[in-house]
Amino acid sequence: MRREIFEAGHDDFRTMARAFVQDRVGPRLPEWEAAGQVDRGLFTAAGELGLLGFEVDEKYGGGGVDDFRYNVVLNEELTRAGATAVVMNLCGFNDLIAPYLVQLCSDEQKSRWLPDLCAGRSVAAVAMTEPGAGSDLKSITTTATRDGDDYVLNGAKTFISNGVLADVVVVAAKTDPSAGSRGISLLVVERGMPGFERGRRLHKIGLAAQDTAELFFDGVRVPRANLLGEEGAGFGYLMRNLVQERLSVSVTAVASMHRALDEALAYTRDRRAFGQRIADFQATKFTLAELATQVEVAQVFLDRCIAGHVRNDLTEVEAAMCKWWVTELQQQVVTRALQLHGGYGFMREYGIAREFVDARASTLYAGTTEIMKEIIGRSLVRER
């Protein structure tokens, strides 16, 4: 069924994105999972096809199109091909990092960073989470102290996607620890700056091809020319862009549910037991009917939120509602789809097994389910 939020241009783009995923991502996925990261060739290949920096101005190498629906298409094609781990590589730049650079960079900063990032010659990351501060960003302890024309950066970050490969890292730090959320600023740290070190690659239960790392900053001198936006305004920038980040996670979650349902349908139609297909048992048909209905409802809700975001009127509360609900539903759908596979669902060579472990992060990053409900509940209480 064609979704009303898309137009002909998006359908054409989907054809191209699907071919890219089939040709350049799918065959390499086992290799990347074994290595714990993708190789840089993924980024340059994506850059050559214009899959990086959709909203970046064309003069900086981007697509010059501010339409989140293109981001959605690429995300969906990666996820439905089983490459959820690669979403944070390509869509991570488009959905999470590029908005900071487009909105906050000066022309000089854009000229310095964006052409290489859009071409895939450089890789970017954003570093918010710390060992002692996850969803509570106001409690970060990384500091950046002014010293002449530099900031001296000290602290540590963890769970940083693309942390190993990143050449450019947007770091949240406190430039005025006494000012609470109004003392947080965003600085761009570049590969090779003395005192900037990568820690170990973190070993996750899922998303094996996605490199996730610890980052350490020990007296890193960051030029004031690498400040993004205004000093002390970082918390507001983070909150504003978290709406799109949470919507991006929701897109992945719903695409994952579609894949899980497809895997369950294919398996139950093929597998036989007691003289008939598993799909022909009434219990199986009822389960599949329930899953199909849940996925369809989630897709409609998500598409409404995507349409709102394209119109620039999706609120923080609506994004939180979408994020917690579809990611929690994803856990149920994927688990029940795996159950339909019986023992084979526990085997890594089956796509549903990868979907099961990859899905588990959805309710955790970009704000946990509990934080999403707090945002919604706080808004309801305040409105009443």
Enumerate residues 6+ apart whose C-beta is below 8 A from 30: none
Task: Record the tokens describing residue 358, joined without a space.
Answer: 């990859």
Phi, psi of 345 (to 5 degrees): -65, -15
Task: Record the tokens describing residue 323, joined without a space.
Answer: 């994020």
Beta bridge partners of 168: 124, 190
Q: What angle do CA 314, 237, 94 make, to 5 degrees?
A: 70
Cβ(140)–Cβ(185) under 8 Å?
no
Strand residues in the chain grouped as ranges (E): 124-127, 143-147, 150-161, 168-174, 184-190, 196-201, 212-223, 227-228, 272-273, 276-277
Task: Record the tokens describing residue 141, joined without a space.
Answer: 């302890």
Which of the residues are catalytic?
A: 245
Cβ(76)–Cβ(251) under 8 Å?
yes
Structure letter (DSSP) for residue 130: B
CB neighbourhood size of 5 (10 A): 15
